[in-house]
Structure 1
Amino acid sequence: MDEYVRTSIDQKFGIPNDIRVWDRLPLRPHAATAVVGEGAQDKILPLTLVEQHRDLVNGQEVVWVAGTSMPQDSAKVKAESWNAEANLLKLSAAPPAPPKTGDRVVVGPGAVLVHGRALYAEHCQHCHGVGGDGKGPTAPYLNIRPRDYRKGLFKFTSTKEGLKAHRDDLGRIVEEGIPGTYMPSFKLLKKNESQAIIEYVLYLSMRGETEYALYNILAGDYSNDSIATRVKDGETEDKIVSEFVTRVKEGEIDDDASSMLEKMIGDWTTAQTPEAIIVPKEKRYASDAASIERGRALYLSNNLNCVACHGDSGLGDGIQTYSITVNTETQKPNLEPGLYDTWGNKIKPRNLRLGMFRGGRRPIDVYARIEAGIKGTPMPAFGGKMTEQQKWDLVNYILELPHEARTPGTGVAPVTANAAPAAPAAAH
């Protein structure tokens, strides 16, 4: 099974030194994609750019992806110069077959990912690992583990509940870092460098997610535990291997894998659309005393139960931090008390008194955490359970907490504002 998965993933995505990517993935891997216009000559291509992610420069390869068929064994066609005003690409030599109007071409195929791979190796790999598994050589020394991209999950997003991250979410993290963690800001990178890293991280995430899904497809019948159980029940290993080979040859497993790939591509594509982004239905309510008091009432209410994780005073010391909780994937009790994320790391609810929010401290950032939760953690989404005013009241209270005056020994003052609708009791 392991050999099949490795071979399948390498065929679809390649390896770090030999990247493979197909156009259906919602990535921006090339310098540009374009359509050949009228008046093409031997060494001059009039182009209508469809997408451009890099400057078109001397030496970039030009590949025909639709239209005229170029002989497979012919020499590579390369760009010599680009006239942006006239939209003319001059080639270093004539292509082996005359180009035609309507041909689709890629200029600099994979250039963005190749650039991103080099930058990732320089800036990211020592923590996040070669394949994005979060197990780089520095990782064991960090008590907040680097992100493992392979589950296709990122915690701090601007997208709606249940949706994957938008590439701008990754861009914000690359630029700003994650406060309170070892993830630094990379503001000194040029824009095209940041973009290249983002695309490469997305590529690693899609590659890893596909690998996980293939293992899950096969685990029920062919994991070590499953095989041991089947042998114990009377089957032979030879029979199990023969069954597996037959299913592969007949395409049954590939069909399951194709369905999984379609879903993965669809999920990532959806997350890149404007409709995926959280947009408040109402503008932020003024952060006055009345709004803050209403937010405090919501925070302390039994319905929202923020205190179960963040504590009465917002110090991140709620009862869930020393209770036996349930693993979000296996639905079994965790072995030790406390809260855990999807990656199996023990996590602490945010100490709201510090004013340090890993997903950003802009009002819209806090609103997004309330609206869609923190993905891959026990922090739930409250978006469908609160009115817009209640969300903004809670945002105002959370942002006020670091500055709230407290008198020792007075306890938690009673609240009289209306409570919020019911919601799960968990937060990070």
Structure 2
Amino acid sequence: MQDEPQSAAPVHHITGLIHHPYTPPAGFNAPQQGVFKASTVYFPTVADMRQREWKDKSAYTYGLHGTPTTYTLEERLCTLEGGRQCVLVPSGLAALATVALAMLQTGDELLIPDNAYGPNKALAEGELRHFGITHQFYDPMSPQDLASKISPRTRLVWLESPGSVSMEFPDLPEMVRICQAQSVLCALDNTWGAGLAFKPFDLLEDALGAGGQGSLSVDISAHALTKYPSGGGDVLMGSIITQDPALHLKIKLCHMRLGLGVAANDAEAVLRSLPSIDLRYKAHDQTARALAAWWQAQSQCAQLLHPAFEGSPGHAHWQAVCDRTPGTGLAAGLFSVMIDTRYSQAQVDAFCDNLRLFKIGYSWGGPVSLVVPYDLGSMRQSWPAHLKRGTLVRFSTGLESAHDLILDLHQSAQAHLPLA
């Protein structure tokens, strides 16, 4: 009978390469977080494998459920927005869809503002309707309209502040109160506010202090990290942040069952950008206000749509939530202009095409300024009474010089939007 083989170092160099015993020493620390890439996660014993729990972030079980890199990003995003729990998803739209799939079932109803992000409306009209989930669109500038449309079947209300493209700022606190009074969950698309213009989980913080009698909170904050948290126009990612543990667990279990995950290098990119988000947000804001003020003085502009400007729809609501100490309020680097009806769609398109510094493209929050003309009539149930007629053009300011951007607007307007 032959002797049993003795334990020894692997003979073949490839085996030795794969099972190399070296482990780097602990204690390394640097400004940027390490990037951990994994599908498989090792367990020292079967007993340890059976005892580990991923839902509370106390351990690691599989790469899809979290790594040190993604756990760190989730915690920092909670700090940014004032929440307690976070899950990461592959895009901002994935955040909206995951909330809907986690919260709604056949027979439920969803309410969406008529000025909401278009793909969120399309989700309700497509997949959610196919699942037997109905929806209604409500007037974002009328809390009364929202209240009148909440029924016993309503399970979720989406809020957007300000609205996509047309930039109306709703009476956010009043709409949250209406949802709370009806015991209906309210979820906010907080991409514009980014945790900086206002705190979604303490809307009255500036007036009465965090956690005081004036505390007023949405239930869920969805955020397209693609925008300001990334800041580079090169990452697709979203987050869903909550304060209630039971609500978070419901979302996290749905997130797990859908198999959603984010790439480690994308998480690294957002982690690297987060420390500068406040500086960048303020720079985008200042440039947008300079450009908006220029447009306000132009006769081609029938209406300026920027929440921080007096006369823009919902300006008083922006002041109440974002500018409680007058002159300190923030707004994102995003605004729209309603070009007067005397200019044709072809002229407006030519104006956009002729811009040299502004690029034509969707999204925002990156270093390059963007412009997109929209057919607003096709995006609404009816033309909003608070908006003048015309062709809407949305501008997203990058990090270029405001002076250079204004010169670019001027040259293209002279060529394609001539004064009468």
User: TM-score normalised by the shorter chain: which range applies?
Assistant: under 0.3
Q: Which has the larger radius of gyration?
A: 1
Tell me the TM-score normalized by structure 1.
0.26
